[in-house]
Amino acid sequence: MEGRTSSASHWNGVYRMNKRESLGWFAPSLDTSLSLIQAYSNDLDSSILDIGGGSSSLVDDLLARGFSDLSVLDISQIALDDTRSRLGATADAIDLICADIRSPSLNLNEAMVWHDRAVFHFLWTPEELASYRSLLLQTLAPGGKVILGVFSENAPPKCFGLPVNRHSLKSLLAVFGDRFTCMDWLTEIHITPGGVEQEYLYSVWQIQD
Ligand SMILES: C[S@@+](CC[C@H](N)C(=O)[O-])C[C@H]1O[C@@H](n2cnc3c(N)ncnc32)[C@H](O)[C@@H]1O
């Protein structure tokens, strides 16, 4: 499935050319992610890693709720710069990491919560899926949780020009089921700023002992 993958230049172009409030995935606050993080991580010192966090306000909202050990990883430096300038001096307390999640040499600090809204679904090839899984296994702390938000099978097939690998619980189980237990899941309709409905499938996974 070469050619379906996303590049830093694609994403930098997206963030350079569009206001953050007009991006299809934009929401003033990521309420479902926030409530799942709070439900499954009541320790404010827990390390939380937002994979492909872009310029979303999730870190702002987590800081406001007292979470203190936060990292945001994204392939786009422009998105991370936006988050840095939005947060001002508060950004110094956050680890902003510009990296491609598919990079085999990526080495991340241990995290108690791995959050990913709308990034995993851009991965298509068996190699990309395997490398995501292996980075996750390498990074997640014992007892850690994974919170995934992906386009469901009922969502549109593309997002901002890129084809999306839409998922069901069954397809997620095929990737994660042998090492993770699904603790919770739900679907949610996100309405884009342009008025398009996108069904997301959220799921929470715990690494097995
Ligand atoms: C659809 S946006 C979602 C942004 C944010 N998670 C949210 O829900 O508002 C996807 C994000 O993933 C980032 N991204 C895409 N592919 C990536 C990759 N291979 N490695 C790291 N980040 C990536 C993009 O730059 C973008 O910020």
pLDDT computed for residue 49 by the predictor: 98
Residue 5 pLDDT grade (very low, low, confident, very high; cuts 50, 70, 90): low
**What's this model's pTM, rounded to 2 decimal places?**
0.96
- Percentage, residues of the chain above pLDDT 90: 94
pLDDT computed for residue 87 by the predictor: 96
What SS3 class is residue 35? Answer: helix
Residue 42 pLDDT grade (very low, low, confident, very high; cuts 50, 70, 90): confident
Mean pLDDT across the chain, nearest whole number?
A: 95
Complete DSSP assignment for 149-182 = EEEBTTS-SEETTEE---B-HHHHHHHHTTTEEE
Residue 4 has pLDDT above 70, yes or no: no
Alpha carbon distance 185, 199 (integer Å) = 13
pLDDT computed for residue 3 by the predictor: 44
What's the Cα-to-Cα distance from 205 to each of 44, 125, 133, rounded to whole Å? Answer: 19, 22, 12
pLDDT 10s digits, 148-189: 999 999 999 999 889 999 999 999 999 999 999 999 999 999
pLDDT computed for residue 160 by the predictor: 84
- With a 6 Å cutoff on the Cβ, whether 117 touches ligand 1 is yes
Residue with tokens 């953050």: 20
Ligand 1: nearest atom to the Cα of 6: 16
- With a 6 Å cutoff on the Cβ, whether 119 touches ligand 1 is yes
Q: Whose CA is nearest to atom 14 of ligand 1?
A: 52
pLDDT computed for residue 101 by the predictor: 96
pLDDT 10s digits, 86-112: 999 999 999 999 999 999 899 999 999
Other residues' Cβ atoms within 10 Å of the Cβ of residue 36: 23
- With a 6 Å cutoff on the Cβ, whether 94 touches ligand 1 is no
- With a 6 Å cutoff on the Cβ, whether 76 touches ligand 1 is yes
- The CATH class for the domain spanning 8-15+34-207 reads alpha beta
Q: How far is the CA of 51 from the centre of ligand 1 (A)?
A: 7
Residue 2 has pLDDT above 80, yes or no: no
Q: What is the mean pLDDT of residues 125-131?
A: 94
Complete DSSP assignment for 53-102 = -TT-THHHHHHHTT--EEEEEES-HHHHHHHHHHHGGGGGGEEEEE--TT
Residue of 6, 55, 58, 125 with the most ligand 1 atoms within 8 Å of its CB, for mutation: 6
Long-range contacts at 156-160 (CB < 8 A, ≥ 24 apart): 156/196, 156/198, 159/24, 159/25, 159/118, 159/121, 159/122, 159/198, 160/14, 160/23, 160/24
- With a 6 Å cutoff on the Cβ, whether 11 touches ligand 1 is yes
Q: What is the mean pLDDT of residues 53-65?
A: 97
Q: Whose CA is nearest to atom 1 of ligand 1?
A: 118
Residue 16 near residue 78 (C-beta atoms within 8 A) = yes
